[in-house]
Structure 1
Amino acid sequence: MRSFFLRVVTIGVLLHAYVGFRLIPALPGNAAAHTAMALWLVFSCLIVPVGMRRRDGGAQGLRAFATWVGLLEMGFFSFLLTLTLIRDVVLLVYAVIAAMPFSFAAALQTALPVDVAVRTTAETVIALAILMLLTGIYNARRRAPVIDVEIPIANLPAALHGFTIAQLSDIHVGPTIRKRYLDPIVDAVNALNADMVAITGDIVDGSVPALKAHTAPLSRLKGKHGVYLVTGNHEYYAGADAWVAEFRRLGLHVLMNEHVVLKQGDASMVLGGVTDFSASHFGNMHKSDPAKAMSGAPADAALRLLLAHQPRTGAAAEKAGFDVQLSGHTHGGQFFPWNFAVRVQQPFTAGLVRSGAMWMYISRGTGYWGPPVRFAAPSEITRIRLVPAPIKP
């Protein structure tokens, strides 16, 4: 772990050096201004690892402040680095066009001299990075809005028409998400008066002793048929067994490769839940197993719905016979440019998709992880309604 962290820090230093060499000489100002920006980049190199390492969730005082600063700087530098890379591509294209022996190339150089292009793009990169950071902080720190999703189910019994599920996912109670952030989320969910509440993992980022006071609002969640939860990968980083016990103490139904049968009127629904896709790395007893979650389920159930943290569970869930899977994990990418990188690891990024014969809904998450920033990937509290699928002629 220490070796991995050192490699990450080394890469971080090199990336900071790249940004410095590409932007500082291009910016207007005197030597003092350039020195100040160089010192800021050095500070960034030092504070970002603090935000990465001090994620115990229980930090107070100066340690908590340093974590906040480090995580904010991580988000800002991510924007700055991405925009610097884009700037270099733009300047390369500009240089290629300007070097062509055509009249429009000469006109381009006259209208936008090289030194002006270099200076203006450097200033634009910094201004855009600041704007994106401020927008991202607002999006992350506001209470997640409620969005409505309808899932069409073939042959859905009348008793289940309009059955509502309030889904929360990826709250990440921890260093920067505390009780004050969680309370309004719980209030919003309870106001939906949903038939069931589903929490699809990554509720915490820290230990039970550090965070139990801040996860306490979860005990107020209400659903007509109960509140159900499955573990995400971050529960395993923080000690899954301890958190499962704590969630159960709070009155939440934790489903670990098992199911319950919910009855509404004359219709029944199988609700399954599996441990995180990667849980086997923390012990074979926790290995994710949709087939086991389906084992013994009544064959006449009108619907088979699975809660699974990662979309990657989808193939096994469909094979096990589930009709719908609710997931999270991806955060929808959380902020640019990571929303494009999610598909490298996961089959789907966000929203309602068809995975073979099964519907899958992937929440963008109700909180955030790491930097308190969301850009181009808004958070959500999801109100899902089951509706009858249109009858094909």
Structure 2
Amino acid sequence: MSRFFIVLGIIYLIGAFYGFQAFRTLVKNPYLQIVYGIVFIAVLANVYLQFSHFDRSHGMTHKMGFAVGLFLAFMALGFSAGIFMLIEDVVRVFTWIFGKAFQSGEAASSGLPSRRRFMSQIAIGVAAVPFLSLLYGMYKGKYDYQVLKHTLEFDDLPDAFDGYTITQISDIHSGSFDDKEKVAYAVDLINKQESDVILFTGDLVNNVASEMHTWKDTFSKLNAKDGVYSVLGNHDYGDYADWPSEEAKKANLDELKQIQKDMGFNLLLNESRFLEKEGQRLALVGVENWGEGGFKKAGDLEKAIENIDKNDFKILMSHDPSHWQYQVVDHPYHYHLTLSGHTHGMQFGVEIPGWLKWSPVKYRYKYWAGVYEKAGQFINVNRGLGFIGYPGRVGIWPEVTVIKLKKKSKEIV
């Protein structure tokens, strides 16, 4: 067991201990108190057991995902309640010190003030929110698909493409799926948008190509008038699995590429295609993964644009939004629209349209969910269709994006 997991376990137990202070203040039955302790220890033991049998060549199993989800939920419960108990302990200690210093007689000789029941009630009530939310995210949130629609206007959009629609999906992470009916519903939902083209921006699997064997027929049903196009994400290269040889790793990537071809996906590997309509065209550019912060940099934008003209209207597919930030937005070519994914919105956050959009991932990625504009260029960061790690979603729901391209009308002066 790595030092990281040992430290994480210690932190978990500290949270469980402090949370227990609130629980035992409210629940006096000793048997229920014992059950509390047993459940917390069992959740920790289960996640350790799952990771002790972790095979990187196969990736995270559904049992492991469930163990991680429960671990996070119970950690949130313990820590959320524990914070209130810690604050109360600080107050109790200062009250006791004050009594020792400035009071006399029986008041000065008394021990620490007892815990207040109402503070424990608040602690448990507040802690129940993240705990139940994380459980809900595992049970329902991970398949609570949302269709988000955007209309983007451009001065130089070819007239023939005025009203052209794009459905973007990203981050399928097929190895995490556990409900064929729900995934089939997602594919049907995508097709019902009846967009002109479907663009998939990477991470078909978690670790290995074989994850798609179960889902190949399902995703083969994706269809659009102008086809389905895709690029690779950081998880698609097999970098997070153990391979007996480089040949085996290459064979895995070759299989993944073949699977996409068999499903009818047009995989763009640092290359471009033209979408043509009424004698006019859009340049569709697809780069391999390019990401800051230690992620794979296989993307070659210069190679991808070799056969397009600087003045073409360009749609760029690039899995990691940091690519847009560091290489695309200041490129000599003007990339009208970039489509990315990768962040998942961390699968956790709070979004109230027009009021609030927050997730911890914003402290890692400047552009992490939704549409952004800079220098007359747009990027849409899709929140992802699937999930990985924590087997759920809370507040940041799985996303199907529909983007309508519009010709900006010229104002008559």
Interval containing the TM-score (normalised by the shorter chain): 0.7 to 0.9
What SS does the corresponding residue of 1:377 show, helix, strand or coil?
coil
- Bigger radius of gyration: 2
Q: Which residue of 1 aligns with 2:322?
A: 312
Map 1:165-204 to 2 at 5 A.
Answer: 165-177=166-178, 179-204=180-205
Q: Is residue 266 of structure 1 aligned with residue 279 of structure 2?
A: yes
Residues 334 and 141 (structure 1), Cα distance of their counterparts in 2 relative to 1, 3 Å cut? closer
Which residue in the other structure is 1:110 paired with? none
Matches of 2:253 and 2:90, distance apart in 1: 51
Of residues 68, 77, 82 in structure 2, which corresponds to 1:80? 77
Offset, 1:182: 2.4
Matched, 1:293 2:304: yes
**Pairing of 1:15-26 with structure 2 (within 5 A):** 15-26=11-22
- 1:128 is paired with a residue of what secondary structure? helix
Distance between the aligned counterparts of 2:300 and 2:82, measured in 1? 42
SS at match of 1:220: coil
Quick one: distance in 2 between partners of 1:161 and 1:91?
62
Q: 2:68 aligns with which of 47, 63, 71?
A: 71
The answer to whether structure 1 residue 129 and structure 2 residue 130 are counterparts is yes
Summarize the Cα distance change of 1:359–1:30 in structure 2 as closer, same or farther, 3 Å threshold.
same
CA drift at 1:72: 2.7
Deviation at 1:173?
Answer: 0.9
Name the TM-score, length of structure 2 as normaliser: 0.79
Identity over aligned pairs, percent: 25
State the partner residue of 1:158. Answer: 159
Distance 2:89 2:289 in 1: 44
| Gap runs ≥5 in structure 1 | 102-112
Instruction: Assess if the C-alpha contact under 8 Å between 2:65 and 2:389 holds in 1.
Output: no
Distance 1:202 1:230 in 2: 8
1:41 aligns with 2:40: yes
Which 10-residue stretch deviates more, 199-208 or 307-316?
A: 199-208
How many angstroms does 1:379 deviate by?
Answer: 1.6
Distance 1:173 1:29 in 2: 46
User: By how many angstroms is 1:279 displaced?
Assistant: 10
Stretch moving more, 167-176 or 44-53: 44-53
The more displaced of 146-155 and 133-142 is 133-142
| Partner residue, 1:109 | none
Give the direction of change, closer, same or farther, for the CA distance of 1:268–1:78 in structure 2 (3 Å limit): farther
Q: Which runs of 4+ in 1 moved over 6 A?
A: 55-59, 92-99, 279-283
- The 3 A distance-change label for structure 1 pair 235 and 186 is same
TM-superposed deviation, 1:355? 3.4
**Aligned-partner SS, 2:275:** strand
Q: Secondary structure at the match of 2:214?
A: helix
Map Cα deviations across residues 236-285 of structure 1 (whole Å, 9 max, x no partner): 236534312221222211111111111111321110111112499798xx
Asked if structure 2 preserves the Cα contact closer than 8 Å seen for 1:87 and 1:125, the reply is no
Q: Deviations over 1:95-136 (max 9, x none)?
A: 79999x9xxxxxxxxxxx951243213321442234212432
CA shift, 1:42, in A, is 1.6
Q: Is the 8 A contact 2:222 2:228 kept in 1?
A: yes
Give yes or no for contact 2:19–2:82 (8 Å, CA) kept in 1.
no
Distance 1:30 1:224, change over 3 A: same
Corresponding residue of 2:360: 341
Equivalent in 404, 407, 411 of residue 385 of structure 1: 404
The residue identity in structure 1 corresponding to 2:63 is: A
Matched positions, count: 371
Corresponding residue for 2:149?
Answer: 148
C-alpha change, 1:65 and 1:288, in structure 2 (3 Å) is: closer
- The DSSP-based 3-state class of the residue aligned with 1:270 is strand
SS of equivalent to 1:222? coil
Higher helix share: 1
Query: Residue 57 of structure 1 contacts residue 175 of structure 1 at CA under 8 Å; is this kept in 2?
Result: no
* Higher alpha-carbon deviation: 77-86 or 132-141: 77-86
Contact 1:145 1:379 in 2 (8 A): yes
* Residues 144-178 of structure 1: CA deviation (Å, up to 9, x unaligned): 12221112212222211111111111121114445
Query: 1:78 and 1:167, CA in 2 relative to 1: closer, same or farther beyond 3 A?
Result: farther
1:213-232 equivalences in 2 (<5 Å):
213-232=214-233
Amino acid at match of 2:8: G
The code of the aligned residue for 1:386 comes to L
More displaced stretch, 216-225 vs 140-149: 140-149
Residue identity matched to 1:146 = V
CA offsets per residue over residues 192-235 of structure 1, 9 Å max, x none?
A: 22111011111212423343122332212111111011111111
